[in-house]
Amino acid sequence: MPTQKQIQLRKHKRIATGLFFLMAVIYGLMVYFRHENPQSWMGYVEAFSEAGMVGALADWFAVTALFRHPLGIPIPHTNLIERKKKDLGNNLGKFVKENFLNPENIRPYIEKLDVVKFVSTWLNKSSSKEILEIEIINLIQKIINDLEDKEVENFLANKGAEILKSIDYQKITSSGIHYMIEKEEHIKLLETILPQIKEYVNESQQLIRDRISENRPFISFLAGKKISRELTDGLIAFLDEIESDKNHFVRMKLTQNLEQFAEDLLVSENWNEKFEQLKNELISPENLNDYAEDAWESIKKILNENIENPYSGLSLYLQKNIQKLSESLQNDEDLKIRLNKWIRHFLYRMILKNSEEVQTLISKTVASWEGKELSNKLELEVGKDLQFIRINGTLVGGLVGLVIYTLTQMFIS
pLDDT of residue 297: 87
Helix (H, G, I), strand (E, B) or coil at 57: helix
91 domain residue, yes or no:
no
Query: Is 270 found in the same domain as 173?
Result: yes
Question: What are the DSSP calls for 294-360, one per residue?
Answer: HHHHHHHHHHHHHHH-TTSHHHHHHHHHHHHHHHHHHH-HHHHHHHHHHHHHHHHHHHHHTHHHHHH
Strands (E), 122-202: none
- The predicted-structure confidence for 162-221, as pLDDT tens digits, reads as follows 888 888 888 888 899 888 888 888 888 888 888 888 777 777 666 665 555 555 554 444
Q: Which of 282, 299, 323 is the endpoint of a domain?
A: 282
Read off the pTM. Answer: 0.46
Query: Is 278 found in the same domain as 171?
Result: yes
> Using the 8-state DSSP alphabet, how is residue 284 labeled?
S
130 domain residue, yes or no:
no
Which residue segment(s) compose the domain that 402 sits in?
4-83+369-412
The parts of the chain modelled with pLDDT lower than 70 are: 67-68, 71, 77-85, 87-89, 204-232, 366-379, 381-383, 413
Q: How far apart are CA 46 and CA 84, in angstroms?
A: 40
Q: Which of 282, 313, 343 is the endpoint of a domain?
A: 282
Angle at 298 between CA 295 and CA 301, to 5 degrees: 145
Q: How far apart are CA 411 and CA 413, in angstroms?
A: 6
13 domain residue, yes or no:
yes
309 Cβ contact list (under 8 Å, min separation 6)? 315
89 domain residue, yes or no:
no
- Cα–Cα nearest to 79, from 71, 69, 93: 69
334 domain residue, yes or no:
no
238 domain residue, yes or no:
yes
- The predicted-structure confidence for 273-309, as pLDDT tens digits, reads as follows 888 888 887 777 777 888 888 888 888 888 888 877 7
Q: Which of 261, 282, 303 is the endpoint of a domain?
A: 282
Number of domains making up the chain: 2
pLDDT of residue 25: 92
64 domain residue, yes or no:
yes
Is residue 89 within 8 Å of 366, Cβ to Cβ? yes
The number of residues making up the chain comes to 413
Q: How far apart are CA 185 and CA 255, in angstroms?
A: 10
What is the end-to-end Cα distance of the chain in Å, rounded? 60
Is residue 160 within 8 Å of 323, Cβ to Cβ? no
31 domain residue, yes or no:
yes
